[in-house]
Amino acid sequence: MTDYTPAHVGTVTKYVVVESFDITPADLAIRGYEISQGAMIKETCFGLVVSGKEEDVDRIVRGLRLMDPDHIFVKDRGFPPGDSRRCRANLGGARPGYNGLEFEMTVIPFVSHGLEELKKRDAATIPPPENPLEYTSLDITRLKNLMEAQES
């Protein structure tokens, strides 16, 4: 084993993912470059990777979110942009971890709709979602309907 000397120590990296009818990753990148001031910005197919000092990254993310608050999503990333251990330019194929992001991109439109609706409706008036741990018995009416559908 050899010694490991880390690069970009003390920096923070964040993904800025856009799923919007109005904003493209290119629009986001242009706005990101305008307000970057010292942070590293990489444009990707799903949005941006922003890396730099924590206060710079937070400021850029706040600025980018204003473009379309309900359709821009942000999460932390462990590796800096272009890191040879993760970047698909070196590895080939999809970046490890992209499968999860790809799946959540299919759910994000529903979440964006939820965020938009919550601006018009009070969260307290919206019924809770079903508890996935709660066992629900088969409703007798539904059972009857299933039997009738089988018989017909």
Applying CB under 8 A, which of residues 93, 131, 135, 141 lies at the interface with another protein? 131
Question: Is 9 or 140 the residue whose CB approaches another protein more closely?
Answer: 9
Burial class for 68, CB neighbours closer than 10 Å (0-12, 13-18, 19+)? middle
- Stretch 70-109: interaction string toward another protein, x if CB under 8 A: ---xxxxxxx---x-xx---------xx-xxx-xx--xxx
Residues 3-32 that bind another protein (CB under 8 A): 3-6, 8-13, 15, 17
Binding of residue 48 to another protein (CB under 8 A):
no
d(Cα 70, Cα 119) in Å, to the nearest integer? Answer: 10
**Closest Cα to residue 95, out of 111, 84, 109, 106?**
84
Question: Is 85 or 142 the residue whose CB approaches another protein more closely?
Answer: 85
How is residue 146 written in tokens? 């299933």
Give the shortest CB-16-to-another protein separation in angstroms. Answer: 10
Strand ranges of the sheet holding 72-77, from the earlier edge strand across to the other edge: 40-43, 47-52, 12-18, 72-77
Q: Is the dihedral of CA 127, 74, 110, 118 positive or negative?
A: positive
Which residues make up the interface to another protein (CB under 8 A)? Answer: 1-6, 8-13, 15, 17, 73-79, 83, 85-86, 96-97, 99-101, 103-104, 107-115, 117-118, 121, 123-124, 126-133
